[in-house]
Amino acid sequence: MKKITTALTALTLAFSASMAMASECDPGEVVAKLSHVTGGTTHPKVVAANSLAERVNKEMNGKLCIEVFPSSTLFGDSKELEALLLGDVQILAPSLSKFGSYTRQYGVFDLPFMFKDMDAAIRFTNSDSGKDLLNAMNDVGFVGLGYWMSGMKYFSGNKALILPTDAEGMKFRVQASDVAKAMIAAMGGSPQPMAFSEVYGALQTGVVDGQENTWSNIYTKKFFEVQNSVTETSHQLLAYLFMTSNEFLDGLEPDVRKQFLQIADDVTQEANQNVKAKELANRENILKAGGTINVLTDEQRAAWVDAMKPVWKQFEKDIGAQLIKTAAGA
């Protein structure tokens, strides 16, 4: 019984924490719901989303009010983009890997070993090509407000993954991205696209053997608890499109829109300045919590690069050779 009471208390606390940002708007205010799938308190997207809401709700003084719904509590991966078009949510920050049904160009962000580090990715997103990509889905009704970096990605597995050959025959959860699927296939693994909210359970029950993610996602979603170890491959970028809909933005009064866009830009700059420190802190948090991290030698890392590089050619036509060249040169 004590166990049940404790579990119920924990559930109530978690629910209150997740809904904490959702109750601050007064009746009559213009409300924008911001939905996202990540959780915890130290995750870069959680911090950026909460900072946006705090600034808008304070500085815009009732002209606009943002309610934040983290951890897929309002919409998960499969429904959120559709919900934005239907007007059921107004602000999102999905991974750039999740737009395959709307644009092929975002595949450039998924190409393995495209960006040496997040600084290179930020240089690309600040370039003219990167800025143009914010508008790649305007015809659908989506407006890119900015890119929020999340981190480089690392493989975790139910056994140590030191060389790509270690991954042969393993099932890996991937985001809904054709590039990610091709990358896993190039390693001899089997890609299993799955919503983010289902990953912990799938790793725990053995539905999949491994996954790839940032330190912040691996720590805040506790993936390290149900995996043998994480390998520091840095093989791919995870970044988000901080976005809204044309319908929502066009519906704001011009002065309200201007102030919102200025705060959105400030929050984006700040989030990207702080993201590296947050990632490193969550790497440390994994170690402190008893997780294992495999650091690769240069030769071992080169083997991962070799195994995955053929994927670039496969997607050159979809993404565009010039865009790939620009991103690679950033």
Applying CB under 6 A, the residues found at the interface with ligand SIN are: 37-38, 95, 150, 175, 196, 213, 217, 238
Q: How far is the CB of 212 from ligand SIN (least distance, A)?
A: 8
Cβ proximity to ligand SIN, 49 vs 307, nearer residue: 49
Cβ proximity to ligand SIN, 76 vs 320, nearer residue: 76
Cβ proximity to ligand SIN, 193 vs 320, nearer residue: 193
Residues in CB range of 106: below 8 A, 6 or more apart:
96, 97, 99, 100, 133, 136, 241
DSSP assignment of 51-106 equals HHHHHHHHHSTTSSEEEEE-TTSS--TTTHHHHHHHTS-SEE--BGGG-TTT-STT
Q: How far is the CB of 277 from ligand SIN (least distance, A)?
A: 17
Q: How far is the CB of 122 from ligand SIN (least distance, A)?
A: 17
Q: How far is the CB of 302 from ligand SIN (least distance, A)?
A: 26
The first and second tokens of residue 50, run together, are 């909460």
Cβ proximity to ligand SIN, 244 vs 259, nearer residue: 244
Q: Which residue is nearest to ligand SIN (CB)?
A: 196
Q: How far is the CB of 11 from ligand SIN (least distance, A)?
A: 23
Return d(Cα 307, Cα 304) in angstroms, integer. 5
Q: Identity (one letter) of the amino acid at 73?
A: T
Cβ proximity to ligand SIN, 29 vs 198, nearer residue: 198
DSSP assignment of 140-194 equals TTEEEEEEEEEEEEEEEESS---SGGGGTT-EEEE-S-HHHHHHHHHTT-EEEE-
Cβ proximity to ligand SIN, 223 vs 248, nearer residue: 223
Q: How far is the CB of 62 from ligand SIN (least distance, A)?
A: 30
In the chain, the N- to C-terminal Cα span, in Å, equals: 58
Instruction: Determine the 3-state secondary structure of 232 from DSSP.
Output: strand
Number of Cβ atoms within 10 Å of the Cβ of 93:
26
Q: How far is the CB of 8 from ligand SIN (least distance, A)?
A: 28
Exposure on the CB side of residue 142, measured as CA atoms within 13 A:
23
Cβ proximity to ligand SIN, 30 vs 122, nearer residue: 122
Instruction: Determine the 3-state secondary structure of 35 from DSSP.
Output: strand
